[in-house]
Structure 1
Amino acid sequence: MSLLNMLFKKNKNKMDKKDENLDEELIQQLLHEEDGSKLISVDINENIRYIKSSFNNSSDILYRSFSLGDKQAAIVYVSGLANEDRIYENVLNPLMKETNETISVKQLIENKITVSEIKQLNTLNGLINDLAIGYQILLIDQSKEAIALGLPKWEKRSIEEPTAEQVVRGPREGFTETIDDNISLLRRRIRSPKLTFQSKKFGEVTQTEVAVAYINGIVDKTLLEEVNNRLNRIKIDGILDSSYIEELIEDNPYSPFPQILNTERPDVVTSYLLEGHVAIIVDGSPFVMIAPTTMYALLQAAEDYYERYIIGTALRWLRYLFVVMALLFPSMYVAILTYHQEMLPTTLIISIAESRERVPFPALIEALLMEIMFEILREAGIRLPKQVGPAVGIVGALVIGEAAVQAGIVSAPMVIVVAVTGIASFAIPRYNAGISIRMLRFPIIILAGSIGLLGIMLGVIAIVIHLCSLRSFGMPYLGPLAPMQFKDIKDVLIRPPRWKMDTRPNLSGNTNEERQLNNQKPSPSQGGS
Structure 2
Amino acid sequence: MSYRKLRKKMHYKEQIPDSASDTQKSIDTSITENLNFIKQKTGNSPDIIIRTLAISHDPKVSAAIIHVDGLVDNPTINEFLVQTMEDSVQEKLQDEDLFTVFTEKVVAVGSLETVSDWDTLFQSLLSGDTVILLDGKNEALIASTRGGERRPVEQSDSEITLRGSKEGFTESINTNTALVRRIIKNPNLWVESMNLGKQTNTDLSIMYINGIVDENIVKEVRQRLGRVDLDAILDSGYIEQVIEDESSGLFPTVTHTERPDAVAGNLLEGRVAIFVNGTPHVLIVPAIMIQFFQTPEDYYVRFPISTLIRMLRVFMFLISLIGPAFYVAVTTFHQEMIPTDLLVIIASQTESVPFPAIVEALIMEVTFEILREAGLRMPNKISATISIVGALVIGQGVIQAGIVSPAMVIVVATTAIASLATPNYDIAISARLLRFAFMLGAAIAGFYGIILGLIMLIVHLVSLRSFGIPYMAPFAPLIPKSLKDSIMRGPIWSFNERPKSLNPQNRVRQGTDQKPLPPIKRGMMRAETKEGDKNES
What TM-score, normalized to structure 1?
Answer: 0.92
Instruction: Determine the C-alpha separation between the residues in 2 that align with 1:393 and 1:185.
Output: 37
Instruction: Determine the C-alpha separation between the residues in 2 that align with 1:492 and 1:320.
Output: 11
For the Cα contact (< 8 Å) 2:497–2:509, is it kept in 1? yes
Instruction: Determine the C-alpha separation between the residues in 1 that align with 2:123 and 2:166.
Output: 37
Counterpart code for 1:84: N
Query: Post-superposition shift, 1:387?
Result: 2.9
Range with greater deviation from structure 2 (353-362 or 32-41):
32-41
1:334 paired residue number: 328
2:47 paired residue number: 60
Match of residue 449, structure 2, among 447, 455, 459: 455
What does 1:460-471 align with in structure 2 at a 5 Å threshold?
Answer: 460-471=454-465
1:160/1:328 Cα in 2 relative to 1: closer, same or farther (>3 Å)? same
RMSD: 1.9
SS at 1:213's partner residue?
strand
Instruction: Determine the C-alpha separation between the residues in 2 that align with 1:459 and 1:175.
Output: 39
- How many residues are matched? 503
Q: Does 1:84 align with 2:78?
A: no
1:51 paired residue number: 38
Query: Post-superposition shift, 1:132?
Result: 1.6
Superimposed CA distance per residue, residues 173-214 of structure 1 (whole angstroms, 9 cap, x where no aligned partner)? 111111011000000000010100011110011111111110
For the Cα contact (< 8 Å) 1:504–1:515, is it kept in 2? yes
Q: Does 1:42 align with 2:29?
A: yes
Query: Post-superposition shift, 1:133?
Result: 1.4
Match of residue 145, structure 2, among 145, 151, 159: 151
Instruction: Determine the C-alpha separation between the residues in 2 that align with 1:27 and 1:491.
Output: 61
Match of residue 431, structure 2, among 437, 448, 458: 437
1:28/1:300 Cα in 2 relative to 1: closer, same or farther (>3 Å)? closer
Instruction: Determine the C-alpha separation between the residues in 2 that align with 1:259 and 1:173.
Output: 26
Superimposed CA distance per residue, residues 445-497 of structure 1 (whole angstroms, 9 cap, x where no aligned partner)? 11111221111111111111100100111111111101111111111131100
Counterpart code for 1:151: T
1:101/1:128 Cα in 2 relative to 1: closer, same or farther (>3 Å)? farther
Instruction: Determine the C-alpha separation between the residues in 2 that align with 1:143 and 1:239.
Output: 35
Instruction: Determine the C-alpha separation between the residues in 1 that align with 2:466 and 2:240.
Output: 11
Instruction: Determine the C-alpha separation between the residues in 1 that align with 2:503 and 2:123.
Output: 40
SS at 2:481's partner residue?
coil
Superimposed CA distance per residue, residues 114-142 of structure 1 (whole angstroms, 9 cap, x where no aligned partner)? 11122112122221221121111111111
Unpaired segments ≥5 residues, structure 2: 1-12, 529-537
Superimposed CA distance per residue, residues 120-178 of structure 1 (whole angstroms, 9 cap, x where no aligned partner)? 12122221221121111111111122111111222211111111111111111111111
1:74 paired residue number: 64
Query: Post-superposition shift, 1:507?
Result: 2.9
Query: Post-superposition shift, 1:101?
Result: 5.4
2:466 paired residue number: 472
For the Cα contact (< 8 Å) 1:300–1:429, is it kept in 2? yes
Instruction: Determine the C-alpha separation between the residues in 2 that align with 1:360 and 1:247.
Output: 44
Range with greater deviation from structure 2 (96-105 or 190-199):
96-105
1:381 paired residue number: 375
1:138 paired residue number: 132
Match of residue 427, structure 1, among 409, 421, 443: 421
Instruction: Determine the C-alpha separation between the residues in 2 that align with 1:122 and 1:437.
Output: 54
Instruction: Determine the C-alpha separation between the residues in 1 that align with 2:164 and 2:389.
Output: 33
Instruction: Determine the C-alpha separation between the residues in 1 that align with 2:344 and 2:21.
Output: 83
For the Cα contact (< 8 Å) 2:152–2:170, is it kept in 1? yes
Instruction: Determine the C-alpha separation between the residues in 2 that align with 1:230 and 1:396.
Output: 44
Unpaired segments ≥5 residues, structure 1: 1-24
1:372 paired residue number: 366
What does 1:31-430 align with in structure 2 at a 5 Å threshold?
Answer: 32=19, 34-69=21-56, 70-97=60-87, 98-99=89-90, 100=93, 102-103=95-96, 104-430=98-424
2:10 paired residue number: none
1:366/1:174 Cα in 2 relative to 1: closer, same or farther (>3 Å)? same
Instruction: Determine the C-alpha separation between the residues in 1 that align with 2:132 and 2:266.
Output: 43
Query: Post-superposition shift, 1:38?
Result: 2.0
